[in-house]
Amino acid sequence: MKKTNDELTQIIGKIAAVISIGMFVAYIPQIIDNLNGNKANPIQPLVAMFNCILWVMYGMIKEKKDWPVVIANTPGIILSLLSFLTSI
């Protein structure tokens, strides 16, 4: 069965959303290290947080909401913020 371009876009979007969430879950060990006194540089998570905020805004303001983009980047806002706050 041949997939249409829209179906393929949906599949790729869902896979990308899962991978993006996994990327931001990777902040959890850094947060734990920060809390244990092994501070990391706060710049990268701060920039990642603003990047995620912009992507969530982009996904929400589109006429047809881009839910994979919103879902993939929302955990990034929270985990990047936590990583930033614990590293300062």
CA distance from start to end of the chain: 53
Task: Let me know: does 49 contact 80? Beta carbons within 8 Å.
Answer: yes
Q: Does domain 5-87 have CATH number 1.20.1280?
A: yes
33 CB-near residues (< 8 Å, 6+ apart): 39, 40
Give pLDDT tens digits for 19-64.
988 988 989 999 999 999 999 999 999 999 999 999 999 999 999 9
pLDDT band at 1 (very low <50, low <70, confident <90, very high): low
Q: Where are the domains of the chain?
A: 5-87
pLDDT at 85 over 80: yes
The span from the CA of 76 to the CA of 56, in Å, is 10
Mean pLDDT throughout 66-73?
92
Dist CA 42 CA 32 (whole Å): 14
pTM of the model: 0.83
CA distances from 76 to 4, 22, 45 (A): 30, 10, 9
